[in-house]
Structure 1
């Protein structure tokens, strides 16, 4: 196989799929990355002047071009695909039988909470099939973290005039005004995304050199600050657990854990002392009980629904419409809010689509991204290892919000499934015919493709 070299990319003895990028990354990769960026504004694109979300157009374009590319690999058959398809049909039938399938909010919920995440899982290993593309994804997450981190600082500390888009500063748009909400107009997805950007930036900082190493350092600092300023306990818990688990698995990080923890405590202390307006909200978030009452009330209502209608539930997306019928005043805590969803994703699925729907959802997670945490564990010397670490972080940022909120947020959910697919690439993708003929093994490092300022990753 020939070697190709230009001013920015060196290709040495590459498998054919790595050589595909020698003369440029396919357009569908750029479109897909663009869809992730614009996905931050999902639901609020009208405030940017778009009649329809650009992320949806870019995503559709990326999928279309991917399907037209004759070099694209094919997925192996996996039982989880059947379960995913059955779950989509089951949920759609649930919505149809209750006459809500054509309601805009319910239809978009089905698309964003189930269908698109499953597509992300399948598309991840196909779109990000080369090391160069996977580095591009990490860089995109790093830049997203920088934007969200800066926006969080401008939201909470100021100057507010620098917050963009301006709808972020409108208390009548979104929820939980007063926290760092970012373009999501909600603190939890903002923190979840910045948390993933924090780990992506950390990988880039340790693996790259030159200008991108400095950019990654900025990403680490701003993403870390943003996860604090979002004032969301599920995000804080996910960050701590992900750091401890990864620290346990990676000796280099384990040795630095005391310093990292001390730095985190120091940053929080500095914010409390240097930014008085933050002190009270930060302390309030540590001690707030009303949101715990909300979770207890909605979860108890969800359990009553499951007991009353265990097979079919009350219908997809209908809890907000009729869930108050199952709210009861408890003896030990008050009813503070009834116009919210069930604050546990798994219980929410059971209440709305019945136990079969919840079981299929759990199986999709268990046989999808979660499976690749425990099978085919990569060697520490392989590129897959850093993506396996990213999947650990993504799982934390997905699991803890899922256990304590409805977790309806498109971007962080999509990233969890996308990263799961990337990690499972070796088990999910059939080798290409030209690679089989050449007897080319799956590469174990990203040394195959390196830019002028990139190290191995």
Structure 2
């Protein structure tokens, strides 16, 4: 029975976490509301908001769980909330607070950080990024057509430090079912918001949509862009949220209101995914549903029904879907295919020229401007000209060379090994354990699939979320005792 007791949350700890979470989120909402009302805040009012943030810091410093939730919230709304008068943006400040909170907890002995082969390779890859940023290269790290400097330290934070730290925090902090539930409901909350604003972007009432750029000036007017102003990332969040919603809705151990909320989130995400009108999103969503139909014990029927319904819809509406009319749901867009083909050709040439060390962190746009190449004579040379990388691994190889790419692939390989091992340990350990196990398999898979169409290093929120979910599953599985042989004493 000792093994079973490790699965049960400590009621006192759970209550303390809950009240810290309520207090800190309440203070965070005060800050967001103040920023929304006042805009960039300077002078005395700015100092007041900093003081409120300091009060929140007192709370979060002793609660890594709360700090992690606030960091996810700040990252989710990063484009929407701007607060002047601060030494850095809220997301960066909260990350510093998380590092401090985890450090304090480690000194107090309430969390134990792990450093193994995966963490060692993560550290090596981070160092390689730093070396590349500091090393002199043929081109400066600027946006070619504007001359704007690329802030390399922030690029490293979003693409490397944040996700790697999230994995470590997930493994160290989210190690019991009550905290896993907090993480899963964070996923549901973010996905629900993304689904709702995606629907309101096209159906109204548009006055209810915030942030306003979703309806006033979206970068892709025909697609559901969400708070990220980017349909691919928006679709990825909703795809992960759909999986979480189906799993929670089928969890008979969850409270009735929790299952009801999850049941409402699932269709929001399903409609939102459709409204992205983006091939990559539909493909990764389909992959996620297929994987869940194979591994999500207890909910396979729901995923199979979703897959069959989606397939029937695509077949019935194929004429519209295969057209280039995005406003009507068409996915046809030869120009986007040509963009990527030209960038692939340029990337392969660039790797051949600087195979080991690459052209330097943040230099892909420079290479794609000064050495842009054509995939074939029947592809317009201008397609993809001067763009940032639209393929994650090729972008890494161009900028960091084959050494950087090798380190990154080893990180992904070791992470996949840890996640698969965690899934095998957790799939028979109860509903909560099985839920995070399935999410830990599906979320990185969808995230990696999305990397075939975008450079993931620009997307701080999904990087944080995916690595946090993976770390949480690994942490819970490590805490679990190994299965006992039949008849063995307990």
Quote the offset at 1:17 in angstroms: 7.4
Aligned counterparts, 1:266-345, within 5 A:
280-281=325-326, 285-329=330-374, 330-335=376-381, 336-345=383-392
| Residue 105 to residue 229, structure 1, CA distance change in 2 (3 Å) | farther
Instruction: State the match for 1:191 in structure 2.
Output: 235
Aligned counterparts, 1:85-100, within 5 A:
85-98=123-136, 100=141
Checking the alignment, whether the CA contact within 8 Å between 2:365 and 2:388 is kept in structure 1 is: yes
Q: Over residues 355-378 of structure 1, what are the superposed CA-to-partner deviations in whole Å (9 max), with x where a residue is unaligned? A: 000100111111124542257712
| Residue 238 to residue 376, structure 1, CA distance change in 2 (3 Å) | closer
Please tell me whether residue 218 in structure 1 is matched to residue 264 in structure 2.
Answer: yes
Further displaced range: 181-190 or 375-384: 375-384
CA RMSD of aligned residues (A): 3.2
Please tell me whether residue 236 in structure 1 is matched to residue 278 in structure 2.
Answer: no
For residues 303 and 365 of structure 2, the distance between their equivalents in structure 1, rounded to whole angstroms, comes to: 43
Please tell me whether residue 259 in structure 1 is matched to residue 305 in structure 2.
Answer: yes
Checking the alignment, whether the CA contact within 8 Å between 1:202 and 1:216 is kept in structure 2 is: yes
Quote the offset at 1:188 in angstroms: 0.9
Aligned counterparts, 1:20-169, within 5 A:
21-25=13-17, 27-46=63-82, 52-69=88-105, 70-98=108-136, 100=141, 103-169=149-215
* Ranges in structure 2 where 5+ consecutive residues have no aligned partner: 21-62, 143-147, 484-490
Checking the alignment, whether the CA contact within 8 Å between 1:87 and 1:360 is kept in structure 2 is: yes
Checking the alignment, whether the CA contact within 8 Å between 2:324 and 2:332 is kept in structure 1 is: no
Count of residue correspondences = 418
Checking the alignment, whether the CA contact within 8 Å between 2:133 and 2:361 is kept in structure 1 is: yes
Checking the alignment, whether the CA contact within 8 Å between 1:235 and 1:397 is kept in structure 2 is: no
* Ranges in structure 1 where 5+ consecutive residues have no aligned partner: 2-11, 432-440, 445-457
| Residue 13 to residue 380, structure 1, CA distance change in 2 (3 Å) | closer
Please tell me whether residue 415 in structure 1 is matched to residue 451 in structure 2.
Answer: no
| Residue 22 to residue 45, structure 1, CA distance change in 2 (3 Å) | closer
Quote the offset at 1:116 in angstroms: 0.9
| Residue 310 to residue 215, structure 1, CA distance change in 2 (3 Å) | same
For residues 337 and 77 of structure 1, the distance between their equivalents in structure 2, rounded to whole angstroms, comes to: 41
SS at match of 1:342: coil
- TM-score norm. by structure 2 comes to 0.77
Instruction: State the match for 1:384 in structure 2.
Output: 433
| Residue 272 to residue 214, structure 1, CA distance change in 2 (3 Å) | farther
- TM-score norm. by structure 1 comes to 0.82
